[in-house]
Amino acid sequence: MKRGKCRGCGAEIVWIETSSGKSMPCDPEPVKYWEKPKAAGKVTRPDGVTVSCEYEGDPNKATGIGYISHFSTCPQAKNFKKK
């Protein structure tokens, strides 16, 4: 996992290689998640797989730890959309 700074907002980010081989900018703090198909939340696991999830639940039943895409938290994300 490579660290860097967002070109839009200057926040610290980590780059995770996805299962498709692309680099995903993510917020640097890992979060616990509870996997749930078709949930609105998404995390990218350290192995590069993105899963639908919820961010709250019984701490003893968390599915794992993942990273939230920086595209969903960056105030400048709209400037990076492909045209």
Please report the pLDDT score of residue 26 as a whole number: 97
Give the pLDDT confidence of 71-83 residue by residue, as tens digits: 999 999 888 766 5
Of 11, 26, 29, residue with least CA distance to 75 = 11
- Cβ pair 45, 64 in contact under 8 A: yes
29-73 confidence digits (pLDDT tens): 999 999 999 999 999 999 999 999 999 999 999 999 999 999 999
Q: Could you tell me which residues are beta bridge partners of residue 17?
A: 23
pLDDT for position 58: 95
CA-based nearest residue to 41, from 1, 69, 76: 69
* DSSP result, 49-76: -EEEEES-S-GGG--EEEB-BGGGT-TT
